[in-house]
């Protein structure tokens, strides 16, 4: 049984986020009937409430369905697996990150400042949700594996968002930036938990460190490149 105060705080953020999964299930099922949205919300609400109270691995699909007043068969018509409930929430938050990448800051801003501003703004919007999702994900190998597999899709979407923002950006360069950004997301999420920082603070820190590293690397290349062959022993 999870700590009750943690479960209450986690449920507040998760329950707010899960209200948006109905649109995802509508797209997945190819229907926009009112009952579809209502049942999806009930299932999602039941799932995240039970996950927060007991932990992801200790909740069965049959228990989620019973809590929502439907059958397990109905659950699987809306969600292919219980991991999908959490992945749908992550998909929504990541879609918002792509919007921010395409729109934040000055049009002439370079890639790294744009990514920094977008990610920090994203963390300010969803920090409470991330803090709720982190322990749930880390305590479940199956959920962690599902999230890691989905990262490949999110990396592709991030690269696409960068190409929208910077049409002149080379396709491979966009992929390098997207892969780097996803790695930094994992790093600052761990740092936020480990050091008691807000997610926005942790994000700002790791992106500032990347900016400093790339700046030093660039300076080193310029200095080394300016040497004449006769200057090198």
Tell me what pLDDT residue 5 has: 45
Tell me what pLDDT residue 193 has: 87
Tell me what pLDDT residue 3 has: 42
A 10 A CB-CB count for 5 gives 8
Tell me what pLDDT residue 230 has: 41
Distance of CA 18 to the CA centre of its chain: 14
Instruction: Kindly give the parts of the chain with pLDDT less than 70.
Output: 1-11, 22-24, 26-34, 217-233
Tell me what pLDDT residue 217 has: 61
Count each helix (H run) and each strand (E run) in the chain, helices first: 10, 0
- In the block, which residue shows the tokens 């590293």? 213
Tell me what pLDDT residue 30 has: 58
| Cα 106 to Cα 96: distance, rounded to the nearest angstrom | 18
| Cα 157 to Cα 188: distance, rounded to the nearest angstrom | 20
Tell me the two tokens of residue 51.
């996950």
CA angle 25, 29, 32 (to 5 degrees): 75
pLDDT tens for 143-201 read 999 999 999 999 999 999 999 999 999 999 999 999 999 999 999 999 998 999 999 99
**77: exposed, middle or buried (Cβ count in 10 Å: 0-12, 13-18, 19+):** middle
Superfamily of segment(s) 83-219 = Tetracycline Repressor, domain 2 (1.10.357.10)
Q: Are 62 and 10 in contact (CB under 8 A)?
A: no
Tell me what pLDDT residue 231 has: 46
Q: Quickly list DSSP for 78-125.
A: H-SSHHHHHHHHHHHHHHHHHHHHHHSS-TT--HHHHHHHHHHHHHHH
């Amino acid at each position: 049984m999870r700590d009750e105060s943690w479960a209450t705080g986690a449920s507040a953020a998760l329950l707010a986020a899960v209200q948006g999964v109905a649109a995802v299930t509508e797209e997945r099922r190819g229907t926009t009937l009112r009952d579809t949205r209502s049942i999806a919300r009930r299932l999602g609400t039941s799932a995240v409430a039970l996950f927060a109270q007991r932990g992801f691995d200790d909740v069965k699909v049959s228990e989620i369905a019973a809590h929502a007043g439907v059958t397990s068969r109905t659950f699987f018509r809306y969600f292919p697996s219980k991991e999908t409930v959490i992945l749908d929430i992550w998909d929504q938050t990541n879609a918002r990150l792509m919007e921010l990448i395409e729109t934040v800051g000055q049009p002439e801003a370079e890639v790294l400042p744009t990514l920094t501003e977008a990610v920090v703004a994203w963390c300010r919007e969803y920090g409470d949700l991330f803090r709720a999702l982190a322990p749930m994900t880390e305590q479940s190998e199956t959920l962690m594996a599902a999230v890691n597999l989905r990262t490949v899709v999110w990396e592709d979407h991030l690269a696409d968002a960068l190409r929208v923002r910077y049409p002149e950006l080379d396709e491979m360069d966009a992929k390098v930036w997207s892969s780097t950004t996803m790695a930094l997301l994992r790093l600052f999420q761990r740092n936020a938990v480990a050091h008691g920082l807000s997610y926005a603070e942790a994000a700002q820190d790791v992106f500032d460190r990347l900016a400093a590293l790339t700046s030093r690397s660039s300076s080193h290349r310029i200095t080394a490149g300016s040497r004449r062959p006769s200057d090198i022993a």
